[in-house]
Amino acid sequence: MDVEIDINITGRNKHVSAIKQAIHTIKEQLRAIANQLPFNSLPHRLIVEMVYNVVFWLNAFPHADGVHDVMSTHTILTGLQIDHAKHCQLEFRSYTQVHEAHNNSLNARTVGAITLRPTGNAQGTHYFLNINTGRHVT
């Protein structure tokens, strides 16, 4: 597929309308998610993951002005399609218990976590935020 790409180098403090609109769309989605959360302040890691979540889902569906009419950016880049049965079962911010590396002791084998987003792989794996450590877990 031959695609003609125009490079538009702008000067300092000048704006590219398409990029400005994309940033505006991402910010609107972030505000919608942030206003649904029951917290007064958010950890930095959670804010970063919210941005990743919004961009993941924006790229998961074909865009009217995109490079392809039917395939999404995610599908074009990875060759994988989003499967509702695998990737849409857990919602961002939902509380889950995730598997923890363990031995044969009586210690806990799971840990509390917040669902962040699907990884987009064929197995339907998700990313989580460990509540105890604040770290990103797959």
Sequence ranges of the domains in the chain = 17-137
Q: Could you tell me which of 129, 134, 124, 40 has the C-alpha nearest to residue 92? A: 129
Mean pLDDT for 32-60 is 91
Mean pLDDT of 72-96: 89
Residue 1 pLDDT exceeds 70:
no
Q: Is the pLDDT of residue 101 over 80?
A: no
The pLDDT mean for the chain works out to 88
- Unique residue bearing structure tokens 């990875």: 78
CA 10, 12, 16 angle in degrees (round to 5)? 40
Of 48, 28, 27, 46, which Cα lies nearest the Cα of 37? Answer: 46
pLDDT, position 106: 83
